[in-house]
Structure 1
Amino acid sequence: MSFAGVSVVADGKLLQPSTASAIYSGTDSSGSWWYHLLVVQGYSRTKNLLPNGERIKGCSFRAGGYQWALELYPNGDVMDAAGFMSIFFILDQDVARPVKVQRQFSLIDEVDKQQPAHIRARKARDFCAHNDGWGRSQFIKQEDLEKSEHLKDDCFTIRCDFIIAEAVSATFIEVGADVMFEVGHESFAAHRNILAARSTVFMAELFGPMKEGTTAGAIQIQDMEPNVFNALLGFIYTDLMPKMTTVFYQKKMTKVGGEAEAEGGADEVTWLQHLLIAADRFDLQRLKSMCEERLSEYIDLSSVTSILGLAAHHHCRGLKEACLEFLKVQSAAILAGVMATSDWQHISATDPSVLNELITKLASKA
């Protein structure tokens, strides 16, 4: 999967940044799959300014060797769609032969609709000429959007996933970073609109009333290793699970979820724990879920208490349950050893409910 840019609509108008947004296109092992984000800021004003049948066209973006765009009709594209929001995916160039595309629209936090199997199940459509488009005339009822958690601070984000059957081999990168971060002794350039589209925390920090950072200074990120922040940015731009770097934690680091210090090795469990903390900190729920799933594969006697402490502290219900299920099947002698560790004592002191849940599970085993 590759990221194909972001369009930002504010108060009924497409924002045209002075510098280009980053656009990444390419192919991965699963085929020519991209996604583009459409961020709507000031939804109420946008809805009032554009009557039924009037649209906002997003930025033209390149993917698979072709130019594309999204069109948003805040009050529906036709009379039958009045009271709904309409969204369309269009070909933004002339072509010599049809381009076959599968596409799926979702709101940014509808993760289940963004899975590969879901998108590949969609019927492929031929795009034959400039402005050819397919979409959802009744994408979402306005009343439903306004009552939902998708609308936050009068803003929401639509995600368009699409697979091109025969993409033109191309890689296209436009650099136009407009925000700088300093993490430890390293600096990272990024794009405000992209960060804000993926994270409500970045949205508040970069565009809210307490917004941080200007073009003259960098935003300081405290209590995070540069490698972790770099991985976080990688996920934001690609939507792929980051890989652990070989230089991660070659120095003495504070243990996750406790006070003790441990000599760092390039250890996958520690890497995933710190990445999960970062994902939770910046409200990247998809990345957090991916870390939970991976960590559940590493639960054993050497890691269960640290993973359990992390899961309890960061409200990872599924991961916590997996740890308790692992402990449930252990012998009494092994459980006694686990409960004698400093990690378990820390968990018991900070979240007594964990012990109660374990007791309940052990009782059901008897």
Structure 2
Amino acid sequence: MPTSQTVSTCVPEAEQGTHVFDIFGYSQHRGIGAGNPMISGKFYVGGPKWHVLFYPDGFSSSIERYQNCISVGLALASENVKVRASYELQLVDQSTGLRVPVYKAALRVFIRDDDSSWFTMLLQKRSVFETSTYLRDDHVTIKCIVTVIKEPMMPKTKPFPEIEVLPSNITEHFAKRLEENEGVNVNFSVGENFTVHKIVLAARSTVFKAKLYGPMREAGTSPITIKDVQPDVFKALLHSIYTETLPPMDDLEGDDHSEMICRLLVGTTLALADQHHCDMLKDACIKFITCSNAVEAVVSTQGYKMPKRTCPSVVIDALEKSTSL
């Protein structure tokens, strides 16, 4: 049953802006009364207008904790809007020029013409502030960083991304290395010379692994001689090892094609299976010989003649299997 898979993503969109409010002649602004702020110029963040508020005589004279304190606030100046925002207030150390964070407000809603249009924080006692390095030469610098969270856009639905996995072509690469004789390091003499990659043969065939790396491996750099195998059969065997496919046999027809298959797969495989005690493989070869319609083609191959001559027990096994069938 066909299925579909889609995906959509919702990511909050934020805009951040910074405003620096420089206040000169701080002492001359004293006495304007509690609740009366000095207002910065307007600045825009996220679309709406904002002001920084500085209360030199405190935010309120009726609330005890605001009395004799310096207060700073942020106000939304735009009308008929509702804004979700957070902000951070920093004071500049006038002796070093470094900005020191003094307050960080969490995300909240600002609404114009409402108590939610502004937000004020208590900075510190006036006596402490006026003896700090934040005030020097009657100069105060306030930095306000505002982050506005905008309404998320409607997510768009998209097809789920699919990554096309390319088919493996490692066997093509191996075949090309064999064809170009690049990096070959072992020689075989099979009626004619073949140069191949030792590691490939060992990785693909336990028989060749035993031959090339086992305790009975042949020393030196002389070609390894393989008898009773025709060159075209050995070439086809190498092609099969490197590519996991049989070589093209378009020029072979009928009996020639069957004979090539038998020479390539059965007789030699039977001999090697017996030689290296691969009992399951040997039984499979014997079963193929005794059950197939190609018995005559098999027994006529050089690959079959080798176990017949050197390992008569293999032939006896085949006869017993044939008799039982």
Flag whether TM exceeds 0.5 (same fold).
no
Computing the radius of gyration from Cα coordinates, the structure with the larger value is 2
TM-score using structure 1 length: 0.33
TM-score using structure 2 length: 0.37
